[in-house]
Amino acid sequence: MSDERDILLSTKGLSGGYGRVPILHGIDLDVGENEVVGVLGHNGMGKTTLLKTLMGFLPATSGQIRYDQNDITRLPPNVRNQIGLGYVPQGRGIFPQLSVRDNLRFAWQDHGAGSEHDVIETVLADFPRLSRLLDREGGALSGGEQQLLSLARCLMGDPDFLLLDEPTEGIQPSIIEEMSETLLKLRQRRGLSILLVEQNFDFIADLSDRVLVLERGRITGELTRADLSDQSKVDQFLGFGAARGTRQNSARPQTLTTTSRTVLKRAETFAQPPSTTAASDPQPSVSTVTAMTIKRPTLAQMRSMAERFGMSLSDEDLSEYTEIIEPYMQAYDRLDAMPDNLPEVRYPRSPGYFPDPSDNPLNAWYVKTEVRGAPDGKLRGKRIALKDTICLAGVPLMNGSSIMEGYTPEIDATIVTRMLDAGAIIAGKAHCENFCLSGGSHTNAKGPIHNPYKRGYMAGGSSAGSAALVAAGEVDMAIAGDQGGSIRIPASNCGCYGMKPTHGLVPYTGAMPIEQTIDHLGPVTNNVADNALLLEVLAGEDGLDPRQYKPTVYSYTEALGRGAHGLRIGVLKEGFGHPNSEPDVEAKVMQAIERFRELGARVEDVSVPEHHTAMDAWTAITLEGLQDGMMWGNSTGTNYKGLFLPSMTDHMAQWKGRADELSHSLKACMFVGEHFQRQYRGRFYGKAQNIMRRCNERYLAALKQYDLLLMPTLPIKPQEHPPADCSLSLYVQLAFEMVPNTAPFNGGLPAMSIPCGFSEGLPIGLQLVGPHYGEMKIYQAAHAFEQSGDWRDM
């Protein structure tokens, strides 16, 4: 920093993060009066965390923040704002249903620089584009206009210091240039100081007096104003060759071989859209690249990739390939500049809050909030908890893992929108197991989730919080997810009704996946009627989920009250007598079988030996699929159409540098999945999918004789949580020992757990399985059983 400027904001040894997850490590920085300092870094490096900590939205775990010579380390955000700090968040944070005028009015402060009208007029003088849009809703603006509104709204408080978080993200080049010019004028006229975090190098270089490089929560370098024009120094941070020019019309020289010029010319021609005009007409061209926001591969990275591919290439060859691929890199630049195409968020909400232990005795809540939907509908007034794999825009999601902690999605999952449209109230996010890789409830990064009937015992995973909150009466309903039993296991452990619908009946869009062919979402409730009602709202195609293939949807509440008389129920022989089966569990299920007979159902034994084979097939599908898609694919993968959420992908990618934080159960799965993908090239995954199809054929053959199959949901009762210092073996055993009757039906058939009795003060459940889209028969039988008497007395 130049000596002439007095220091306005400084940090010394600043560290912070999200809860127990450290992100920032000993940050030292100074920003002087009327100085602009840029912070350059890729996603996941801690840029947003730094700004949130400076503004007070996240606490500093150590170190000091000083502003205008005063220690502000412990001051709340509103006080920091009053003394001169302004914050423009990533994602803009405007109110989409308020007009531009009302967004600005919302930010006016009566202790500011004038009346509300005067301040608005002053701000609009700097943002003439917004003057024409005052009566338009914020949600109807383009991404660039929203960013200008976010900046203008910040200036309503007359700050002396701006914290800007990725202002060019998803913004068209013309708006970026307009914003750059506006900020330069504001700096000159108002004497503003600015701390700017960005990935767009041109933008940050145009505005900044100097640029800091942030990597993994540490400042690792600094570029002075002179350095920013030194190609060799910039290349260290942008990548080999990328500093030749970050604008199409850059004057920086480019040295191309004759061959590479020819290839580039061909690539440019390939990128042109086909012309339908006469030869003399001007030809359409690819949009100009005004900012190289995508980091180019360095020579070392090119060499490393070639080695992974098994290619023998010289450095000269690699340099030429770097030039050859430049037009394709520019396609990525253009993609990066475009706004994404994501679903609209239609209902206002706050980010909620993390409840204190006294307000969260089962540790079942992650975040409490209250998002109100439509004033009327099938779910009017119903309070619903979401498993913390499901996106609720503006509300944190961590999927039970410290890796995802700090992530906030910008969309609502399809089912969230459907529930809100039906009048529901989203009461918050329920804790789940660490990346959902456990049928216990002991792997969550925030601690174990307790059984509502017996503290210290498993609530069942992975949707532990969802079932525990329903059973405890804290919500009316909950959404759970199921890849190996994660709806039915906690429903059984907590004495609830949990339906895993037919694969693809409920859209998975906007939920964090494990493996597409086994991913399911479904309802958990305290009674059958609520379960059927909620499924009516959830079910149906959304056009965004590749798991769906024209699902057949019914009015499930019409199955209620039909009774069990005449139902044909096959008691699956292979569902009993597992090596760990407990006699009291099987005895309660046998009593329930007699109850069905008393209700007039025809109940007979049936054998499907492939039930055990299905468990083996599920193992290969799950372990290799999760490793390929969830881990190496960063929860996204490729080769399908549907809704993608890049922000989730970016955040999930952090696991590669933080793998020690993964749960023991997930690590065990990764070792198996990686071994078979690497050593056996994925052949067993394919074979398992083929065999699972045959297993389903055998189940369906039995279901031609019977309406439903019946068996214990789990072979065992809820177990005790292990001690914190338990062995790895015990930890993993308690995560997977209960799945032999649930996992086989993640091949796609619908299955529901219904409570059928108590033993030793803990609930026991039985499982009903039907054919594809056979939920009506399941609800019919489950409702008849529920109406025959209180399961707690059975």
Spatial separation of the C-alpha atoms in residues 584 and 242, rounded to whole Å: 68
Distances (CA, A) of 599 to 437, 711, 787, 788: 38, 18, 10, 8
Rg (Cα) of the chain, in Å, rounded?
A: 29
**Alpha carbons 572 and 698: distance in angstroms, whole number:** 12
Q: Is 463 a catalytic residue?
A: no
Listed in sequence order, the residues at least 6 apart from 681 whose beta carbon sits closer than 8 Å to its beta carbon are: none
Q: Hey, what are 431's tokens?
A: 């804790």
85 within 8 A of 147, measured Cβ to Cβ: no
Which structure tokens are listed for 277?
């005009």
User: CA 465, CA 429: separation in Å to the nearest integer?
Assistant: 9
Q: How far apart are CA 192 and CA 430, in angstroms?
A: 43
What are the backbone dihedrals phi and psi of residue 267, each rounded to the nearest 5 degrees, phi first? -65, -40
Q: Say how far apart CA 24 and CA 14 lie, in whole Å.
A: 7
Nearest-angstrom CA–CA distance, 721 and 732: 12
From the number of C-beta atoms within 10 Å of its C-beta (0-12, 13-18, 19+), residue 565 rates as exposed
Ordered DSSP codes for 160-221: SEEEEE-TTTT--HHHHHHHHHHHHHHHHHH--EEEEEES-HHHHHHH-SEEEEEETTEEEE
Task: Take residue 368 and report the two structure tokens written for it.
Answer: 């409490």
Q: How would DSSP label each residue in 238-262? A: H-TTGGG-SSTT--S-----HHHHH
Give yes or no for a contact between 494 and 467, defined as CB atoms under 8 angstroms apart.
yes
* Residue of 193, 208, 402, 486 with catalytic role: 486
Measure the CA–CA gap between 169 and 746, rounded to whole angstroms: 39
Q: Which of 47, 382, 387, 777 is catalytic?
A: 387
**Residue 462, preceding peptide bond in cis (omega within 30° of 0):** yes
Tokens linked to 198 = 């960005």
Residue 479 buriedness (CB in 10 A; 0-12 / 13-18 / 19+): buried
Q: Tell me which DSSP letter residue 345 carries.
A: P
Please report, for residues 206, 297, 657, the alpha-carbon distance to residue 236 in angstroms, rounded to integers and kept in the order given: 18, 11, 21
**462 counts as catalytic:** yes
Sign of CA dihedral 509, 514, 519, 522: negative
Q: What are the C-alpha distances in Å from 199 to residues 53, 193, 293, 333?
A: 20, 20, 6, 12
* Cβ 458 vs Cβ 718: under 8 Å: yes
* Residue 486 known to be catalytic: yes
Which entry of 180, 462, 463, 753 is annotated as an active-site residue? 462
User: CA-to-CA distance for 327 and 270, rounded, in angstroms?
Assistant: 10
Show which residues are catalytic. 387, 462, 486
